[in-house]
Structure 1
Amino acid sequence: MSHSPDRIPSPNPNPSPRPPPSSKRSKALSLPDLWFKDQSLKNAALKMHLRSLSATPSASPPSDTDFSLITLDPSGPDQTFLLSDELLLQIFSRLPLSCYVSNSLVCKRWLYLHGRLVQSLKLTDLSFLNSGRIFYRFPNLTEIDIVNACIRTPRNSGILLTHKNLSIHIGTQFSGTDFIEKSDLLPSDLLDSGLEMIAQRYPNLRRISAIGASETGLLSISNECETLQELELHCCGDLSLKGISRCRNLQLVKLIGCFDGFYNSVVSDIGLTILAQGCRRLVKLELCGCEGSYDGIKAIGQCCQMLEELTLFDHRMDGGWLAALSFCSNLKTLRLQSCKSIDSSPGLDKHLGSCHTLEELHLQQCLMRDEPGAKALFLVCEAVREIVLQNCWGLKDEVFGFASLCRYEGFFIVVFDS
């Protein structure tokens, strides 16, 4: 029997299509190819380029041929010139604040655009203001602090004295009772000129901090900056407050009259009355190292009926000022900070009155050994709902017993002691 060869299988009558041979993978399109692939994108980019505010007037718009040659090579031309200033500003505004400084160093255009985003500035050199460079560099400021720029101190000194929001350099030849003497402040005419320039170039100013300002300089701010809402004045006197009597929209005012170890000025009932009669829309008032008495606080309460928060820092008030708090018909928060006494002579209990709208009483680093003053304070604040004691001295059982004079059933005391 002969051996038959292996049978060859017959072909499939319905063969499935075989995949084509693998061809070489096409090259991925680069970002410029994707960007300019469509003609409409070319036209949009050309339009953005024409609208760019930073483009030189003499430059002619590039043609389609020019756009086709554009690449994203870092060593090539700056492609951000295709974007308008308005578009770049929107991009920069969405970046974190920590990136502002580094981005502003890329080029002059980015430096200028980032300056337009800055709205708050703390000035340390008044020459930057007097030269006018600040108005070109930061054209949209709404908050400005010129306190440090108005103090003539040795900039190369290695001794930096800081207290709260004030930091100054002092020399080794210091001799006197205060670190900042009258001679250390800039002349009033130079400061008034700077305030006038600020008022003219920043009419939309909302907050300003100054030191040693006179009535003339503050008057220019009052006349031009109608939207001013916050004001902080260091080393100010009674008569200088006449300059802010036209600030009808002021809501927050901080007056620093006497600052132990730094400077010494007087804010008395005269200044408080001037402030009350001119700024009737006050919501928050902070008096630091200010003198005064019953009459000054009464004028504040009668004229500033929208006042909700009153802060007294190291006050120099005469005895009997507590009774004037009853005129603050809308007061909700009362703060006493670093006060050596509450009220040296509060008077009879029946003459104290009461602040019926008060909700919070904060005592921070205050001396509470004056029992008559502490008792009078709790009597005036009998409607309070929350009492906060923080790092106070002289707290005795009798002082806590005075808190029972508060009539609100749900009030509570919070004590912090570090």
Structure 2
Amino acid sequence: MDSLLCDELLQEIFQRLPPCSSSSVSLVSKRWLYLYRTSKTSLALQLTLQKSTIPALSTLLSHYPFLSSLSIILPLEPTTGDGDGDGPLVKTTFSDDLLLLASSSYPRLHGLRFLAGPVSRSSLVSLSSTCTHLTSLCINLSRPLFLTWLLNFPLLKELSIMVCHGEGFDHEVKDNLEYGFSSSDDFDAELGIESLCLSGIRTDDWGMGWLWRSCDKVKKLQLRSCESIGDGGSFSSFTRCLQGIQEVELRTCRSIVDGVLLKLAEYSHSLISLLVYDGGSREGLLRFFSHCSCNLQKLDLRLPLDLNNDHLLAASVNFRTLSSLRLQSCCLVSGEGLKALGAAMSSGLEELALINCDVVEREPGLLTTLGQNLKQLRKLDLSYNEMLLDKELISMLVSCHYLVDLNLRGCKGLANSAMITMSKSCKRLENVDIMNCCGIESEAVELLVLNSPKLRKVLVEESKLSHAAKTWASLKFIQVV
């Protein structure tokens, strides 16, 4: 059979295989190993900081000649430095050498995720001259942030910058065009970036105002662990990139989240997706929920001590276009707010997640009401509600006939009866996660596999898979993980 399959056909097959099969393919023969490597267009590597890292990486990359996407990660661990443990995380020269190797190996690279320590401005300019097709770039930078090198990447659509720990820039910066430290509109560029992710920005990061003014095509913005959006003049420039923004993620940005939400409510009329994790104020959130005029479709919040019923009631009035609502660890929310949301969005909400939200366990009958109101639900995530009982889940599932995805991971209070109802009422289920559900036994898992006609993937412990369940899963092409 091996001799009947030509190289091109084998490569096409390899590209269609799931990731879990790759290790088996490479062991069949030297021919298969070679063809598997040459068929790969994407590769992710995690390296260790050793003298042999660069030579070993060079040898490895030579086996994958046709990559268009490359990810290189080197865990940033403090070096001994001068003996006090505060030395540089990874020497820039080492990172530059790695970057030079990656770029010279794949000049036609489209996507590069390079998190192997901060890189110098000169190495980024060199990267731009070698990899002229780059559309996606993720890198570490150290301070000061010299951002004008972005002008050398005219095709860049996705940019992610993670700022490493280090001191700010305290030299004279006024009108220093070389570094982007200019308030003059004459120096503004027209960058084509559509997705922008920034991590670790501080108030002393000069030049951010130039970036904001130059990124007026951004549709997706992510801010992570940011104390600020840049130097003092950056906030006035920030609004320029918000005009066409569609998706915003704010993770652990407590000091700026209110200001950002205020600007979003004022300028971002095309916003359709908002995520806020671990940081905010009740007043700032309420102002946004009450005054935002956009047609928000997706709302994802992890705000244990900031989100309450006032916000949900405001959302039920102002965000009637929501199709996805995800709440995680929201301790101050009660059934009143969730029921109001359910009633307001009964015809449109397709995804609901109440992850580790004790209101699910605290208020009997809540899930029943939500199930009766949200009959168009396609995705339901109740994971890590450890005290959720069968009768509460069953009372919801009997109304959710259109469910496609169901996540019950970590719901230790569930037992077999919930699975029986799931098999009878949810005939459209394709993906089910029941990992770490202690009360669900192998008989119930077998019943689910046998009686779910559209099931395609089940996440469950192998110890709960009977021989019959494995056989039926194989025959019905159900992936069991």
In the superposition, the TM-score normalised over structure 1's length comes to 0.59
Amino acid at match of 1:331: I
Note if 1:217 corresponds to 2:123. yes
Instruction: Give the C-alpha shift of residue 294 in structure 1.
Output: 12
1:85-234, aligned counterparts within 5 Å?
85-118=7-40, 119-125=42-48, 127=52, 129-130=54-55, 132-148=58-74, 151=76, 182-185=87-90, 187-210=91-114, 211-234=117-140
RMSD of aligned residue pairs (Cα, Å):
4.5
Instruction: Give the C-alpha shift of residue 304 in structure 1.
Output: 2.1
Structure 2 distance, partners of 1:367, 1:85, is 56
Note if 1:321 corresponds to 2:246. no
1:132-180 Cα shifts (integer Å, max 9, x gaps): 312321111222222217x5689xxxxxxxxxxxxxxx9xxx985xxxx
Note if 1:335 corresponds to 2:260. no
Instruction: Give the C-alpha shift of residue 105 in structure 1.
Output: 2.3
Structure 2: gaps (5+ residues): 174-178, 331-355, 357-481
1:31-54 Cα shifts (integer Å, max 9, x gaps): xxxxxxxxxxxxxxxxxxxxxxxx
Q: Name the CA shift for 1:357/1:304 in 2 (closer, same or farther; >3 Å).
A: same
Query: Percent of counterpart pairs with the same letter?
Result: 22
Matched residue, 1:163: none
Relative CO higher for 1 or 2, CA cutoff 8 Å, sep ≥ 6? 1
Q: Name the CA shift for 1:233/1:377 in 2 (closer, same or farther; >3 Å).
A: farther
Structure 2 distance, partners of 1:294, 1:343, is 18
Structure 2 distance, partners of 1:295, 1:254, is 18
Structure 2 distance, partners of 1:380, 1:265, is 39
Matched residue, 1:394: 306
Is residue 337–residue 365 contact of structure 1 (8 Å, CA) maintained in 2?
Answer: yes
Q: Name the CA shift for 1:312/1:101 in 2 (closer, same or farther; >3 Å).
A: same
1:288-327, aligned counterparts within 5 Å?
288-292=199-203, 299-317=210-228, 321=235, 324-325=238-239, 327=241
1:171-198 Cα shifts (integer Å, max 9, x gaps): xxx985xxxx54441x333332332222
Instruction: Give the C-alpha shift of residue 98 in structure 1.
Output: 2.5
Is residue 340–residue 366 contact of structure 1 (8 Å, CA) maintained in 2?
Answer: yes
Q: Secondary structure at the match of 1:358?
A: coil
Structure 1 distance, partners of 2:271, 2:208, is 16
Is residue 283–residue 308 contact of structure 1 (8 Å, CA) maintained in 2?
Answer: yes
Is residue 267–residue 290 contact of structure 1 (8 Å, CA) maintained in 2?
Answer: no
Q: Name the CA shift for 1:93/1:232 in 2 (closer, same or farther; >3 Å).
A: closer
1:339-390 Cα shifts (integer Å, max 9, x gaps): 22345779xx99x942222233322222324x3x446655884334246252
Instruction: Give the C-alpha shift of residue 331 in structure 1.
Output: 0.8
Q: Secondary structure at the match of 2:161?
A: strand
Larger C-alpha radius of gyration, 1 or 2?
1
Matched residue, 1:359: 272
Q: Secondary structure at the match of 1:111?
A: helix
Count matched residues: 307
Is residue 108–residue 131 contact of structure 2 (8 Å, CA) maintained in 1?
Answer: yes
Structure 1: gaps (5+ residues): 1-71, 73-78, 155-169
Instruction: Give the C-alpha shift of residue 238 in structure 1.
Output: 3.8
Structure 2 distance, partners of 1:188, 1:294, is 19
